Amino acid sequence: MTHILAIDQGTTSSRAIVFDRNLAIRAIAREEFPQHFPAPGHVEHDPGDIWLTVAGTMRQAVEKAGLTGADIAAIGITNQRETTLLWDRRTGQPLHNAIVWQDRSTAQSCARLRDAGHERLVTERTGLILDPYFSATKLAWLLDTLPDARERARRGELAFGTVDSYLVWRLTGGAVHATDATNAARTMLYNIHENRWDEEICGLLDIPLSLLPEVRDCAADFGMVREDLLGRAIPILGIAGDQQAATIGQACFSPGMVKATYGTGCFALLNTGDTPVASRSRLLTTIAYRLDGQTTYALEGSIFIAGAVVQWLRDGLRLIRRAEETQPLSEAANPAERLILVPAFTGLGAPYWKPETRGAIFGLTRASGPAEFARAALESVGYQTRDLMEAMHADWAGSGTPPVLRVDGGLSASDWGMAFLADIIGAPVDRPEVLETTALGAAWLAGQRAGLCPGQEEFARTWALDRRFEPQMAAGERDSRYDQWKAAVAATIAVPFA
């Protein structure tokens, strides 16, 4: 048993990655699954698709590595956060599709809670703001909407979970209903200072505590996987939400270190150590990880659309066939054409938090074409990241030089995109050799719990740089472009769509 299996359940696909004891990748399996948009602003997943792609990729990855279940010492899980599931404890059947983190359908519920004066309580206890992004109002909506759901919940017949908790339930055959501190911290129901479900907030939303999973450390015993899945019962020993897993995989263990992960969205986390920092810039105060009962906190900025803007170019506008085409197109774009794309397809995240806002593009001319659209798409990711870096800098550093930004995720493979990112934030951007940092973090959690992998300090020393992107843009041009971006965002927010 010298290998670790990491399950990386994401927004558009499920992946399984086999790592050896040195945390080198041996095999990867990936399956995409459908996205469901039942109404404008609504985003759902079929729980059956989530489960089948996870179970399938687990088997495929182990087979591709030339291994069997007998070779796997432990399993780690990382997952799309905030996505909300509700299921029957007896049968395991979900009562509804999973409500995805991108879903904005509970914006009015959040507005009513805000108008009633509850946001301060929510922020002080959970570190979050009242926004449909988080699980709490999604769960309340399910309980309000589904026949007899509240009564069944009160009788203890139902279980709530984020994707990690649902997977643990399915993998263990219903033996374990648990989550970890990082996923619990994203529900808007968890007191991050006292590390417990908050009874008062649950009461506001009429959510029975019996619905909620047990909260454990990120490296902990989450039960044994059913023998029929991989041929033997294997322990699940690590769980972290995807962005916290990437923080661990990037070895951002020291206060002041910051990483940004570019997947469907972009999520930047700044390690603040054992101190939860209250943001003055509408960032989130969250749990970075909890190990051996000790909680490490972070400031987080969330961008809802990052890699998804490239997917939109491909699938929505059909301007490209593959994501990789954005690089040569951006290089070929006319420098005189200055398009600014605000990709608020599902609202704006931090630091604006405008769920009702929709996307816009500025500066179009008759000469605007696919190359200019591709460049604007990649630039939009850089601009949004600067929004987060400015807010983090105000909350954490106050003044001085921005820190080095460690990046990962699919979009970080774009040299052009990362070079522009360094230019627009005015700070070095470090891309590691291992871009699968989310799965790596989950694998390390499980591996070190199993006694297979090194401790935190030794693991941090294994982090290796692939390439550093240094800023080349003149400060005046950088600030001028960013001023244009801020004006475009202000104009986009000013146009009501809800």
Residue 455 in any domain: the answer is no
User: Range of 46's domain?
Assistant: 3-243
pLDDT digits (tens, 9 = 90+) for 359-384: 999 999 999 999 999 999 999 999 99
Residue 334 in any domain: the answer is no
Task: Please tell me the pTM assigned to this model.
Answer: 0.88
Residue 204 in any domain: the answer is yes
Work out the angle at residue 208's Cα, subtended by the Cα atoms of residues 206 and 211, and round it to the nearest 5 degrees.
130
Q: How far out from the chain centre does Cα 101 lie? A: 9
Residue 11 assigned ligand-binding role: yes
Residue 120 in any domain: the answer is yes
pLDDT at residue number 401: 53
Q: What is the CA radius of gyration of the chain?
A: 22
pLDDT under 70 in the chain at which residues?
A: 397-402, 498
Residue 66 in any domain: the answer is yes
- Number of domains, the chain: 1
pLDDT at residue number 104: 85
Residue 401 in any domain: the answer is no
pLDDT at residue number 399: 44
Residue 265 assigned ligand-binding role: no
Residue 385 assigned ligand-binding role: no
pLDDT at residue number 320: 80
Residue 307 assigned ligand-binding role: yes
Residue 410 assigned ligand-binding role: yes
Q: How far out from the chain centre does Cα 409 lie? A: 11
Q: Which of 180, 261, 306 is nearest to 436 (CA)?
A: 261
Residue 133 assigned ligand-binding role: yes
- 15 vs 31: CA distance, rounded Å: 7
Residue 190 assigned ligand-binding role: no
Residue 396 in any domain: the answer is no
Q: Is 470 exposed, middle or buried (0-12, 13-18, 19+ CB in 10 A)?
A: exposed
Residue 242 assigned ligand-binding role: yes
**DSSP codes, 43-109:** -EE-HHHHHHHHHHHHHHHHHHTT--GGGEEEEEEEE-SS-BEEEETTT--BSS-EE-TT--TTHHH
Residue 398 in any domain: the answer is no
- 7 vs 15: CA distance, rounded Å: 6
Residue 263 assigned ligand-binding role: no
Q: Beta strand 405-408 with 429-432: parallel, antiparallel or unpaired? A: parallel
For residues 84 and 162, the answer to whether their CB atoms sit within 8 Å is yes
Q: Which of 43, 291, 181 is nearest to 189 (CA)?
A: 181
Please name the residues in contact with 176: beta carbons below 8 A apart, sequence gap of 6 or more.
Answer: 168, 169, 222, 223
Supply the CATH number for residue 43's domain.
3.30.420.40
